[in-house]
A = this chain, B = another copy of it.
Amino acid sequence: MSRPYTIARLAAAAGVHIETIRYYQRLRLVPQPARPFGGIRRYTEADADRLRFIKRAQAMGFTLVEVESLLKLQARRSCHATRELAATKLRLVDARIRELRDLRKELAGLIADCDANTQDAKCPVIQRLAS
């Protein structure tokens, strides 16, 4: 197998920092290739692909723990189990959206109340918090 990358070139190819790769190695999210006697570790295109997979999964809101599961599911080729992981994430996202909508509503209401208020000593936001 061709091993074109030093760690710095791997980092550049995947768009992450060297220290991030080392961090993922410590977490065993990515493999640490053997170090030849008196030499340095070298990396493959598959290593770059794996890092890019992780980056995309993170951009989609998955935590590193979830990414670990996704990588295992990729190897296991189980679409059903993967679907379940995505569905669980979707439920979490939905719940968070609902929370934020409620918060949004309350903030918007308080701001509107501020605009209608003329007494600095009776700020609706402060009164809501000090109640």
A73 at the interface (CB under 8 A from B): yes
- In contact, B107 and A53 (Cβ under 8 angstroms): no
- In contact, A114 and B78 (Cβ under 8 angstroms): no
Task: Please tell me how many copies of the chain the complex holds.
Answer: 2
Residues of B within 8 A of A78 (CB): 120, 123
Question: Using an 8 Å CB-CB cutoff, how does the interface string of A84-105 with B read, 1 for contact, 0 for none?
Answer: 0111011001101100110110
A111 at the interface (CB under 8 A from B): yes
A44 at the interface (CB under 8 A from B): no
Selected from B49, B89, B94, B104, the residue in CB contact (under 8 A) with A94 is B104
Known contacts A61-B103, A104-B93, A130-B74; is-contact A82 B49 (Cβ 8 Å): no
A129 at the interface (CB under 8 A from B): yes
Please provide the chain A residues from 51 to 77 with a CB less than 8 Å away from any CB of chain B in the complex.
53, 56-57, 60-61, 70, 73-74, 77
Size category of the binding interface on chain A: 35 or more
Assembled-state Cα–Cα distance A120/B78 (Å): 5
Cβ contacts A to B, 13 pairs, < 8 Å: A49-B130, A57-B129, A61-B103, A70-B125, A77-B123, A77-B126, A79-B117, A82-B114, A82-B125, A86-B125, A90-B104, A93-B104, A96-B100
